[in-house]
Structure 1
Amino acid sequence: MDDAELERAAQARHAAREQAEHLGHRIADLAARIADTEEGVADVYEDAARVRPHAAERLQARAREARAFAEKERRAAGERVEGADD
């Protein structure tokens, strides 16, 4: 490889790294938004459990599942941001 080819390869690697970082941040943002939505879903399940005592146990279980999923998404979002910043 001559100097021009080496420079083009270095520029391509740099551009790919920047694109990967950008995408990592976008994915982390999306994961955080999904987590927020799941928290809202959990709130709705809990509200429904209060007004539907006959289904409360099932609805509360779904609320716990939604909150667990939200936490998983938040952890994933944090890991993606940390990985993108390295």
Structure 2
Amino acid sequence: MDMNHNEEGTVTGGIAVDRLRSIIERVERLEEERKALGADIRDIFTEAKSAGFDVKVVKQIIKLRKQEPAEVEEQETLLDIYRRALGM
């Protein structure tokens, strides 16, 4: 086994072990945080549903708020045109 030292710490097979471990552990922590945030978001949608809100519509509004106003307007215009074309 090739064991050398440099400013990164132990190097094995050309790999800076401490740096690799740090990267992996940081990603693992973030994945745990993401999982916890996902559970928190689900709880909020449950609360919204309990308060009588349509969760599907709430999700659509959240999606729309992320988009640029011009993009939203273009989509709404096309939706209206398509609805009229189909007699809806």
* Larger helix fraction of residues: 1
Point out which structure has higher relative CO (alpha carbons under 8 A, 6+ apart). Answer: 1
Q: When the two structures are superposed, what TM-score results if normalisation uses the length of structure 1?
A: 0.47
The alignment's TM-score, normalised by the length of structure 2, stands at 0.46
